Structure 1
Amino acid sequence: MANGWTFVSNHGHVLVALATDPDALLREVAARVGITERAVQLIVADLESSGYLTRERVGRRNRYAVREDLPFRHPLEAGVPVGAFLELVRGSVWPPLPVTGPDATAHPAPGRTPP
């Protein structure tokens, strides 16, 4: 992030983090997203009040569930359910695997040097 912006907002990052690890502590989510724990708390409150996230108390911990059937909020993406975005992210392989075969030297994986 050389110039400080990303394609996904912090709300989106928190949603992805909790969708992939519903039992995560908010402190862990904050570390993964790169924001403060207080910022995560405010985002979780936004997501809960909007119905995108539910919280269930399990012992002394919380378990979060994302309403994947709800659409994105902005009119440009309003026809896309949140679950489609999450599936896209969940299907990703990170870090990228190296390219093998005849094109390996022409297209090395990011951060890797060709053999």
Structure 2
Amino acid sequence: MAGVPEPHSGWTFLTNHARVLAAIADDPATRIRDIAARCRLTERAVQKIVSDLEEGGYLSHTRQGRSNTYRIEAGTILRHPAESGLAVAELLSLLAQHDVDHGEGARQLESSPPHARRPGSGG
């Protein structure tokens, strides 16, 4: 079946929610279809994740014609108690730095604090 992502077994470091949020941070006008391809998820899974992120206050969208433009609420605190006090901007800053280090050209979040940089990254 065309368009179905490759299956993955085992655990990963990032959740699908984090991957979808990072894809949106990279391009706020991205389409669900493009997020699905980038994250290797189905479009239906991405729609559910976007809905979860909106319900959780991490994301909002505005309709522009037939497209959506997303806005990440960068100050929203991560949900897990182990990340108590960490804002979503700090997570996205780390992911964006990874993309820059690997030549993918992701933008740094302007609101990310200096302590969110990776150790050894010169910052």
Shared topology, TM-score over 0.5?
yes
Aligned positions of 1:59-78 closer than 5 A: 59-78=65-84
- Structure with bigger helix share is 2
Q: TM-score, normalised by structure 2?
A: 0.72
Aligned positions of 1:23-34 closer than 5 A: 23-34=29-40
Runs of 4+ displaced beyond 2 Å: 2-5
The alpha carbon displacement at 1:4 in A equals: 3.4
Q: TM-score, normalised by structure 1?
A: 0.77
- Choose the corresponding residue for 1:43, options 49, 61, 64: 49
| Residue 94, structure 1, aligned to residue 102, structure 2 | yes
Structure 1 segments unaligned to the other structure (5+ residues): 97-115
SS, match of residue 77 in structure 2? coil
Give deviations 1:17-65, integer Å, cap 9, x for gaps. Answer: 0111111100100000001000000000000111100011112100001
The alpha carbon displacement at 1:91 in A equals: 1.8
Q: CA RMSD in A?
A: 1.7
Structure 2 segments unaligned to the other structure (5+ residues): 1-7, 105-123
SS, match of residue 56 in structure 1? strand
SS, match of residue 23 in structure 1? coil
